[in-house]
Homo-oligomer: A and B are copies of this chain.
Amino acid sequence: MKIEAVDFFYLSMPQVEDIGDGSQDALLVRVAAGGYVGWGECEAAPLVTIAAMICPMSHSACKPVLASVLGASLDSPADIARIHADVHQNSMDLLQADHALSGIDIALWDLLGHRYQEPVWKLLGYERAYPKTPYASMLFGDTPQETCDKVRATRERGFRVVKLGWGPYGKTTPEADRDQVLAAREGLGADGLLCVDAGTVWADDLALGEARLAALREANVYWLEEPFHTGALHVYKALATLSAPIYIAGGEGAHNEHMARHMIDYAGVGYVQIDTGRIGGITVAKRVTDYAVQRGARYINHTFTSHLALSASLQPYAGVREHHLCEYPVELKSLAYDLTSEHLLPDANGDIQTPDQPGLGIAPDVAALRNYLVDAEIVVNGQTLYKTPAL
Q: Which residues of A contact B (CB under 8 A)?
A: 10, 12, 16-22, 24-25, 43-48, 50-52, 55-62, 85, 88-89, 92-96, 98-99, 166, 199-200, 203-204, 229-234, 253, 255-259, 261-262, 265-266, 278, 374-382, 385
Contacts and interface: CB of A to CB of B under 8 A. Distances in A.
A144 B199 CA distance: 53
* Residue of A17, A21, A257, A378 with highest tally of chain B CB at under 10 A: A378
- Copies of this chain, complex-wide, total 2
A46 B22 contact: no
A232 B20 CA distance: 31
Contact of A253 (B19, B92, B199, B200): B92
Contacts of A375: 379-382
A48 B94 contact: yes
A374 B232 CA distance: 38
A47 B383 CA distance: 13
Given A16-B57, A94-B48, A378 B378 contact: yes
Contacts of A258: 204, 229-233
Given A95-B255, A378-B378, A58 B85 contact: no
Q: Which 5 A-B pairs have the closest CB atoms?
A: A231-B258, A51-B51, A47-B55, A96-B96, A48-B51
A377 B376 CA distance: 11
5 contacts: A22-B58, A48-B94, A204-B258, A231-B257, A379-B379
Contacts of A45: 51-52, 55, 58, 62, 93-96
Contacts of A259: 231
Given A45-B93, A48-B96, A18 B379 contact: no
A contacts with B: majority SS: loop
B377 A379 contact: yes
A255 B230 CA distance: 13
A58 B256 contact: no
A59 B379 contact: no
A55 to B, nearest CB: 4
A90 to B, nearest CB: 9
Contacts of A21: 59-60
Contacts of A44: 93, 95
B22 A59 contact: yes
Contacts of A48: 48, 51-52, 55, 94-96
A19 B59 contact: yes
B92 A99 contact: no
Contacts of A204: 258
